[in-house]
Chains A and B, each alone.
Chain A
Amino acid sequence: MSATVDIRFRLNGVDTEVTVPAGMSTLEMLRERLDLTGTKYACGEGECGACTISVDGVTVNSCLMFAADCDGRELLTIEGLVASPVGEVLRASFARNGAVQCGFCTPGIMMQAQHVLRKHKGCERADLQRAIEGNLCRCTGYVKIIDSIAEACVTADTEQGA
């Protein structure tokens, strides 16, 4: 049987302690141990981005990350994001611009979008397209997702300026 590891980390701003099998992925830990089901399984090998979370300020595929490796780190999931001002801006923009159809890829793309907004590497459409190249969406054809992130970029800019 697999060894377990006791880990401590900050999850959506809250100190969290959990004991996980050493081989467990962060995605499995979030969904099965911590009941945070907003982070989705859709491929389990880093090809689709549905499980995107933020770790120490950068986005990663949680399916590719050993849960044990969360020890001492700062995690943000979709549940934490939507409780923040930037999450609210994104959620409103995604809804208003029609970025959501079946919605299964949406939390992962929201997470990737917050990374774009945080790193602020430019809001040109081509940059945004590249920024979400690791997120697959089967419904929307991406157009309205890109619209949504572009609008959120502008909103975030305005709010920062104000």
Chain B
Amino acid sequence: MSGISNYVAPRSLDEAAELLRAGNVTLLAGGTDLMPQSRNGRTQLRPTLMSIRRVAELRGISEAAGNVRIGALTTISELRDSVLVRERLQALWQACDRFASDQIRNAATIGGNICNASPAGDTLVPLLVLDAQVELASKSNGTLATRAVPIADFLLGPGQTARAATEILSGIVLALPPRHFISSFFKFGTRPALDISLISVGLAARRAGNALHDVRVAFGAVAPRPIRAPAAEAALEGKALDDGVIAVAAAAAEAEIHPISDVRASDWYRREMVRNMFTRVLAHVRDR
């Protein structure tokens, strides 16, 4: 079943970081990815299994100095139930609403979803367009220290992140979006949830009249990791949304993605859907 020789459940971030420093630790949060991946051999459990569930510092959604901090252990259900998330971080809320099932949303954590680094990870695309930073804590020199890494730099590839083995993802920080800021997430699927994204589209921007500024576009499941789409962003930046601008942006997006063919869809279909759904998302913004 597993080669776990030690199970630990620290109660503070300091203790957790200390245990991580000792090495050979698998971090366990909600377990919804770790359990099946350890069963099917995709993840080799290390000798120490460390549940971080009791670490209080990793919980809660707070707002201070124009920033929102989301503790890594915040479950997807807690995000979905948060008024702040629903009203101010719409794209993230939409991703949480379309996330797996109620049972999984109740267990899965945002920190876990980020560290799992799936190309189709539901919260990653909204975090990209919301310019989130992840907070990494460690005790590499004996004292607890944190560093912040932009999410775009944190995600390296399927299951690959910039987290060092001694680090723990403690939270996500993002600037509270200004007024007239819109964000939107679209997940392609035939059912509301319990679906792995064939493709997903994220859009965020400050809206002035019919024009978008500070445009951020991201796509999921079309590359080894969720990606920002700078050419599409540039095509939209400062422009009033009309059919022509939308078509140019959609064409730009198509050039930025590298989808694969797998059991869920062909690369051709993924390309078509990125173009069509990005177009639809932009049209909805225009018509709103």
Contacts and interface: CB of A to CB of B under 8 A. Distances in A.
B194 A47 contact: yes
Interface string A83-107: 0000000000000000000000000
A143 B4 CA distance: 44
Given A21-B1, A24-B1, A47-B194, A64 B107 contact: yes
B2 interface: yes
Contact of B35 (A59, A65, A130, A135): A65
Interface residues of A, number: 34
A59 B28 CA distance: 18
Contact of B32 (A22, A64, A71, A133): A64
A83 to B, nearest CB: 22
Given A61-B107, A68-B49, A2 B2 contact: yes
Contacts of B36: 44-46, 64
Nearest to A47: B194
B53 A133 contact: no
Given A66-B28, A133-B102, A133-B194, A3 B5 contact: yes
B106 A59 contact: yes
* Max chain B C-beta neighbours (<10 A), residue from A47, A52, A58: A58
Interface in B48-87: 49, 51, 53-54, 77
B193 interface: yes
Nearest to B40: A45
A58 B106 contact: yes
Given A22-B2, A59-B102, A59-B103, 4 more contacts: A23-B38, A46-B103, A133-B192, A134-B100
24 contacts: A3-B6, A22-B6, A22-B49, A23-B38, A46-B100, A49-B103, A58-B77, A60-B103, A60-B106, A61-B32, A61-B107, A63-B35, A64-B30, A64-B107, A66-B49, A68-B49, A69-B28, A69-B31, A71-B9, A72-B54, A112-B102, A115-B102, A134-B101, A135-B101
